[in-house]
């Protein structure tokens, strides 16, 4: 740029037919500005795309790594769990409730009218067929994340005999469905399967 | 600088900030309108490249530090975890690893520019000295960084180099024990190296700030080595050198990407894929390529203490270079003997590098002794003597006179006369 203008200056501003206007870049002729605008736009766009391309891997590296994402599984032996009682196991850093329901508890859970429920769901949809005495739930209150009480028979279980959250008073029934707020949703059911009648694999 | 000045900026938000903390005015002055010699060649890109490189190293290093475990039983595996499990971990690690090599390539060329064009001469002596301090900090940081993956070469390189200090009489072994925090390179050593490796880059940022501040007081040198005499000798830094630096950065990134994506382990040592084993020394202990010349000097003499002293001396001699070179002429362009002799010196450094990569036996020992001798001969004999005896070529009257072929006048492109630029 500097040399060409110096050269044209030395030759006394000749008209430049190729561009169809007098070549006088020293004064920034408006027609020249269009090409410069284009180049500025392309350069800025390139820089923006480059920045994004560089920033993304650095941010994505902070997302869970592959070993964290790989679903871990936990095997649970059901034989020591007495009828009417339940245990807590850890899976992916979360508490999992495994409760051995009494016949009365199963009947209570099945007989509920869907319209009575805050978050309607049938008991059948929350257990494995043929194993409905076992209810397996993620033990995190759907309100603000405390762990509800109710696994031991001596724990407070609330009006519906399931679980009671001491933090803000949410109550769940024997199918883990929310019956009294402030929790908005049922205790979620994790992915699990029966390996045998006495062993489950969670996750 | 005391007292509030009225800010010149039109934008009300920028004006508000600038009145209270004149960072925008400062940026405008130091990187916007700053009068820069108009005749820079591409050798002058390398300081900016080093700055960009340092930022890349800091960003990638901080992210790596989120996953790295500085424990001798976990370190090697944590690096593999980064390579295999962390999203883009392989990319961040390779950028950091090859970024270290790029940092030395860029810095060595930057230093060579200084040597060739006499940028170390008055009034830039302190600028040069700060630069040597920067180089030492870089070397310390790189050395400690290489230990962290805890491979065979990490461990044994650390052992060899920390053991150097035992050469000093009486206090030597005490120093080594202090460095190790124990009786060999082990957990305490690894932990403190990790802490210092995280720290030193920020010390580097501080020294670089001083380096650039010193530069902005004296102004830049230029390929002719003559002082700026009038504003016609200069261009405003923006847009001329911001754009030129952008071009340089693109070329730098292309070369960098070539290594990262197509040959990420080309400059590395295969031994570092083996976890550190304190009970087995590898057949060849070799530092990374950027330390090879110093390694060769260290091993060139059979005496342990003399080898250590010579190795340190090879860098310390740079501190006094401004006083060793007696020539009144800065740039090699006008020093016909010096401009050939300096390439011989560069050759001696390359030969030293090659010697450093080989076992110190046979022809390699002889070569390393000759090259070491020549290295010191250049600084301690040639430069002082040549400055007095050399007949230099006549210097041009001014930069603009040499660039515009003696016309001296004529219209200049808008913005090329270092007027302060209006800023929105």
The three-state (H, E, C) secondary structure of B300-364, written as one string = HCCCHHHHHHHHHHHHHHHHCHHHHCCCCCCCHHHCCCHHHHHHHHHHHHHHHHHHHHCCCCCHH
* pLDDT band with cut points at 50, 70 and 90 for residue A112: confident
Highest mean pLDDT of the ranges A60-74, A149-163, B35-49: B35-49
The tokens for A132 are 């409905």
pLDDT confidence of A56, banded at 50, 70, 90?
very high
ipTM of this complex prediction, to 2 decimal places: 0.83
Tell me whether B85 touches chain A (CB under 8 Å).
yes
Q: Is the pLDDT of residue A5 over 60?
A: no
Distance CA A116, CA A122 (A): 12
Note whether B193 and B147 are within 8 A (CB).
yes
Sign of CA dihedral B190, B192, B195, B200: negative
B404 close contact with A: CB closer than 8 A: yes
Spatial contact of A201 and A192, defined as CB atoms under 8 Å apart: yes
Q: Flag whether pLDDT at B1 surpasses 70.
A: no
- pLDDT reading at A26 higher than 70: no
Residues of B in contact with A65 (CB under 8 A): 67, 81, 85-87, 89
pTM for the model stands at: 0.82
Give catalytic residues of B, as residue numbers: 216, 220, 244-245, 288
For residue B309, what are the contacts with CB-CB under 8 A and spacing of at least 6? none
Q: Which comes out higher in pLDDT, residue B359 or A28?
A: B359
Q: Give the per-residue pLDDT at B413.
A: 54
Residue B178 CB: number of other CB atoms within 10 A? 10
Query: What is the average pLDDT across B78-90?
Result: 97
Confidence label for A69 from pLDDT (cuts 50, 70 and 90):
confident
Checking if the pLDDT of B88 tops 60, the result is: yes
Query: How many CB pairs (< 8 A) connect A and B?
Result: 58
Q: Do A9 and B410 touch (CB under 8 A)?
A: yes
Helix, strand or coil, per DSSP, at residue A172: strand
pLDDT in tens, B266-307: 999 999 999 999 999 999 999 999 999 999 999 999 999 999
A29 against A65, higher pLDDT: A65
Question: Does B95 contact A at CB distance below 8 Å?
Answer: no
Of A2, A27, A61, the CB nearest to B416: A2
Answer for the pair B50, A28: CB distance below 8 angstroms, yes or no. Answer: no
Q: Is the pLDDT of residue A10 over 70?
A: no
> Residue A125 — pLDDT band, cuts 50, 70, 90?
very high
Residue B406's pLDDT is what?
54
**Chain-chain contact of B87 with A9 (C-beta, under 8 angstroms):** no
Query: What mean pLDDT, rounded, does chain B reach?
Result: 94
Chain A residues with beta carbon closer than 8 angstroms to that of B59: 58
pLDDT of the residue at A71? 64
pLDDT > 90? residue A203 = no
- What percent of chain A is modeled with pLDDT above 70? 84
Given this model, what pLDDT does residue A72 score? Answer: 73
Question: Which long-range CB contacts under 8 A does A71-75 form with residues at least 24 apart?
Answer: A71/A203, A72/A203, A73/A201, A73/A202, A73/A203, A74/A201, A74/A202, A74/A203, A75/A195, A75/A199, A75/A200, A75/A201, A75/A202
Q: Do A62 and B66 touch (CB under 8 A)?
A: yes
A6–B413 C-beta distance less than 8 A: yes
- In this prediction, residue B403 carries a pLDDT of 74
Q: Is B19 on the interface with A (CB under 8 A)?
A: no
pLDDT at A74: 86
A74 or B366: which leads in pLDDT? B366
State pLDDT tens for residues B151-161. Answer: 999 999 999 99
Q: What is the mean pLDDT of residues A55-72?
A: 88
Q: Which of A2-16, B28-42, B265-279 has the lowest mean pLDDT?
A: A2-16
pLDDT, tens digit, 9 for 90 and up, residues B172-195: 999 999 999 999 999 999 999 999
Say what the pLDDT of residue B420 is. Answer: 52
**Percent of chain A topping pLDDT 90:** 61
Per CB-CB distance under 8 Å, the chain B contacts of A9 are 410-411
pLDDT of residue A3: 43
**pLDDT tens track for B372-395:** 999 999 999 999 999 999 999 999
Q: Which two tokens stand for residue B5?
A: 């000045």
Of the given ranges (A21-35, A40-54, B29-43), which has the lowest mean pLDDT?
A21-35
Q: In this predicted structure, what is the pLDDT of residue A116?
A: 87
How far apart CA A53 and CA A61 sit, in angstroms, is 13
């Amino acid at each position: 740029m500097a040399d060409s203008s110096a050269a044209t200056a030395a030759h006394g501003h000749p008209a430049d037919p190729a561009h169809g206007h007098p070549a006088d870049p020293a004064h920034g002729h408006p027609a020249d500005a269009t090409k410069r605008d284009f180049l500025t736009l392309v350069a800025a766009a390139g820089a923006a795309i480059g920045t994004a391309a560089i920033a993304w891997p650095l941010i994505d590296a902070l997302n869970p790594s592959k070993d964290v994402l790989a679903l871990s599984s936990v095997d649970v032996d059901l034989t020591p769990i007495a009828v009417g009682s339940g245990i807590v196991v850890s899976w992916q850093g979360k508490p999992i409730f495994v409760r051995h329901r009494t016949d009365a508890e199963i009947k209570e859970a099945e007989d509920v009218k869907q319209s009575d429920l805050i978050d309607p769901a049938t008991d059948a949809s929350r257990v494995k067929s043929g194993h409905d005495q076992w209810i397996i739930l993620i033990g995190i209150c759907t309100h603000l994340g405390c762990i509800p009480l109710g696994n031991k028979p001596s724990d407070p279980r609330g009006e519906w005999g399931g679980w009671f959250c001491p933090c803000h008073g949410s109550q769940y029934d024997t199918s883990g469905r929310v019956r009294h707020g402030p929790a908005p949703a049922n205790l979620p059911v994790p992915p699990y399967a029966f390996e045998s009648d006495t062993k489950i694999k969670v996750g | 600088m005391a007292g509030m000045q009225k800010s010149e900026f039109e934008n009300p938000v920028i004006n508000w900030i600038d009145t209270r903390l004149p960072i925008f005015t400062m940026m405008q002055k130091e990187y916007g309108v700053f009068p820069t010699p108009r005749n820079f060649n591409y050798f002058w890109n390398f300081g900016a490249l080093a700055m960009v490189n340092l930022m890349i190293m800091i960003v990638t290093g901080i992210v790596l530090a989120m996953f790295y475990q500085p424990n001798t039983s976990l370190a090697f595996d944590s690096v593999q975890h980064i390579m295999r499990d962390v999203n883009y971990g392989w990319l961040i690690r390779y950028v950091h690893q090859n970024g270290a090599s790029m940092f030395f390539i860029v810095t060595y060329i930057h230093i060579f520019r200084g040597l060739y064009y006499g940028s170390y001469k008055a009034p830039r002596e302190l600028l040069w000295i700060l630069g040597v301090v920067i180089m030492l900090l870089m070397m310390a940081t790189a050395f400690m960084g290489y230990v962290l993956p805890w491979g065979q070469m990490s461990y044994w390189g650390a052992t060899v180099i920390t053991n150097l200090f035992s050469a000093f009489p009486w206090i030597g072994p005490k120093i080594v024990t202090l460095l190790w925090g124990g009786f060999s390179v082990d957990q305490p050593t690894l932990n403190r190296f990790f802490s210092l490796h995280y720290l030193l880059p920020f010390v580097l940022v501080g020294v670089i700030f001083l380096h650039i501040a010193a530069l902005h007081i004296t102004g830049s040198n230029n390929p002719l080595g003559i002082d700026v005499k009038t504003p016609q000798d200069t261009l405003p830094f923006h847009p001329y050198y911001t754009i030129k630096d952008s071009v340089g950065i693109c070329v730098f990134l292309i070369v960098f990407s070539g290594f990262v994506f197509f040959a990420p382990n080309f400059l590395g040592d295969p031994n570092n894929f083996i976890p550190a084993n304190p009970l087995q020394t590898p057949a060849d202990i070799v530092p990374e390529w950027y330390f090879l010349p110093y390694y060769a000097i260290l091993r060139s003499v059979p005496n342990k203490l003399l080898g250590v002293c010579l190795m340190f001396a090879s860098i310390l001699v740079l501190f006094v270079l401004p006083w060793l070179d007696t020539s009144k002429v800065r740039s090699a362009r006008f020093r016909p003997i010096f401009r050939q002799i300096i390439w011989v010196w560069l050759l001696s450094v390359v030969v030293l590098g090659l010697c450093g990569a080989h076992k110190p036996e046979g022809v390699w020992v002889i070569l390393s002794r000759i090259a070491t001798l020549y290295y010191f001969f250049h600084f301690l004999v040639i430069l002082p003597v040549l400055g007095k005896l050399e007949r230099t070529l006549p210097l041009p009257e001014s930069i603009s006179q040499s660039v515009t072929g003696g016309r001296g006048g004529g219209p200049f492109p808008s913005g090329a006369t270092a007027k302060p630029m209006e800023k929105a």
